[in-house]
Structure 1
Amino acid sequence: MAAAEAPVAHRAMDGRRFLLSGPLDFSAPFTSVVELTIAGREHEFTAGSVGLADELAQALGVTDFDEQLNYQGGALLTARVTSYDAQVQLDEDRLVAAWRGRRYCFVTQLYGASTADLLAVLRTLRIAEHGDGLAVRPDASAGSRIAAPATVIKQVPGLGLLDLAPLTAERARQLPSWRGLRTRAGELFRDTLSDGKPYFVLAAADTWVTVLPLADTVVDRVPDLVDRLRVQSVE
């Protein structure tokens, strides 16, 4: 597919929008992950295009959903999965849930929970489907809040896997002590994972971007490709 110059917008699950532009291929789908604290417990939600529900459910061991309900303008599907955790030597009972809208969906899982428990969690959230993604708005009065800013994960051919998040003061303090490479997209840092493989961090004006090279990435070309990238976050 031809590279896109017009901005491509992806909405994170907390409502923030990330705008990507430049002569790169942004045609691949994206996902977003958010961590929520609901009634004192941590819950992770993963959103993406509508087909992601089946893909993630299968990865979690679901062969078919058991129950379907109409919920907040979409379909809420649930399935129960039991797996053995060798580390703690116990069976784990999980309720896997997927909410499907017209274009987007999200998936989450609860341990040792019933459908009633799931609905109690979801009642603290307002689900909103937009043309550029899915967002949830927690109700603070019901004991629900966003634990950390949501991220957007996006694969860009040739460049790698991008993990985008707002550049908060906390993240800025995590930047390497050495000076990075100046690009038109921002300051680019190169570092090494624990397995010895390289990765990059781009500190744009308002966005933190982790770049993980993939099989089609020529690592030495990453700075040149990043220089073509424009990224912006909008609340």
Structure 2
Amino acid sequence: MTFSIVGRCERTGQLGIAISSSSIAVGARCPWVRAGVGVVATQNVTLPALGPRVLDHMESAKLDPAAALDRALSESEWNEYRQVTVVDAQGRTAFFSGKQALGTYHAVAGKQCVAAGNMLSGVYVIEAMIPAFESASGHLADRLLAAMHAAISAGGEAGPVHSAALKIAGEQSWPLVDLRVDWADDDPIGKLDGLWQAYQPQMQDYVTRALNPTAAPSYGVPGDE
């Protein structure tokens, strides 16, 4: 039902996730990112609470991703149905796939990234994502989306995907990027990429606008001058 990649940019320290699913509104349940702490994907038969719990344990208890994930799972039930991936602010990784994960499932850690999925057309889908992320250039969003396109090219899910999301944390407490395609009859990843291409030129201006409204340009929003 889902495949995703979580990753960290070595150059900027940004943390992010790209994810797609056959289910509606995957971005509402599965991606979790916290600036300076880490990024988590909670997928398969999703327990959204696992994302904040892992991040809390990394931030408050100063646990590494593996220990934080283990503790979060120990506090939860039905773990055999869960699939979770983690990257922290140092680029350390962890992942878990329960034995009741759906269909063909797989997870692979790379350099400061983890890709995982279930209901896949084959394990090679996930294995294609890591080199795509590691070899791509540009913004972290570009690298995450390159991995998603590689997954689709390798066969993607066993059935059609209908939703996709991209979420990235920078230096601020709110997400730098938070884009979603909640439902599309076809190609939600392509539509998500289109949203990113439209948003990227304006992205930093919205940060400036938040920190110093007098310094930000107008985009014709009602009330702007």
- TM bucket, shorter chain: 0.3 to 0.5
The structure with the greater share of residues assigned to strand is 1
Larger CA Rg, structure 1 vs 2? 1
TM-score, normalisation: structure 2? 0.35
TM-score, normalisation: structure 1? 0.34
